[in-house]
């Protein structure tokens, strides 16, 4: 799995990070309908995270009808998952972009400086994508 968990101070809760990243993974076609996603134990081990935390993320994913538990086999990506996840992905990201920009404007930082910062970071992030 490709998850990048940052158990840092002010980040989003880990379980939410997992939820987001699974959604992103499905949206980007990494997991296709019918795929079994890694088990709670396996993922917990790999992410160095408590199994309960993973379980909670899975619960949430199940609630979103993105995965469903198949008795004895594990969690399976649902048929409708790609559609759901693509929509959710765009929605989430648009929302966060909006929040950040709203905050930037509220801070009374001049508009041109905001655009400068955005351009800087956009370039930066495209250069060396993740870490």
Binding site for a second copy (CB under 8 A): 4, 7, 10, 12, 14, 16, 20-21, 24-25, 27-28, 30, 50, 63, 71-72, 89-90, 92-94, 96-98, 100-109, 111, 113-115, 117-118, 120-122, 124-126, 129-131
Q: Which helix (H) or strand (E) holds 20?
A: helix 14-27
Q: Please state the φ and ψ torsions of residue 67, each to the nearest 5 degrees.
A: -130, 160
Q: Which of 86, 75, 72 is nearest to 43 (CA)?
A: 75
Q: Which of 91, 92, 106, 88 is nearest to 26 (CA)?
A: 88
Candidates 20, 30, 35, 42; binder of DNA (CB under 7 A) is 42
Size of the site for DNA (CB under 7 A): 29
60 touches DNA by CB under 7 A: no
Q: Which helix (H) or strand (E) holds 68?
A: strand 67-70
| Closest CB to a second copy among residues 14, 77 | 14
Question: What is the torsional sign of CA 92, 97, 100, 106?
Answer: negative
Binding site for DNA (CB under 7 A): 7-8, 10, 12-16, 37, 39-42, 49-53, 55-56, 58-59, 62, 69, 71-75
């Amino acid at each position: 799995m490709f998850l990048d968990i940052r158990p840092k101070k002010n980040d989003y809760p880990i379980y939410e990070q997992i939820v987001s990243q699974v959604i992103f993974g499905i949206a980007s076609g990494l997991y296709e309908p019918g795929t079994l996603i890694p088990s709670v134990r396996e993922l917990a081990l790999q992410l160095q995270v408590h199994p309960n935390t993973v379980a909670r993320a899975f619960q949430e994913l199940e609630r979103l009808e993105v995965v469903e538990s198949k008795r004895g086999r594990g969690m399976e990506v649902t048929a409708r998952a790609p559609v759901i996840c693509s929509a959710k992905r765009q929605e989430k990201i648009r929302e966060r972009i909006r929040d950040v920009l709203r905050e930037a404007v509220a801070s009374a930082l001049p508009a041109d400086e905001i655009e400068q910062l955005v351009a800087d970071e956009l370039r930066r992030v495209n250069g060396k994508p993740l870490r």
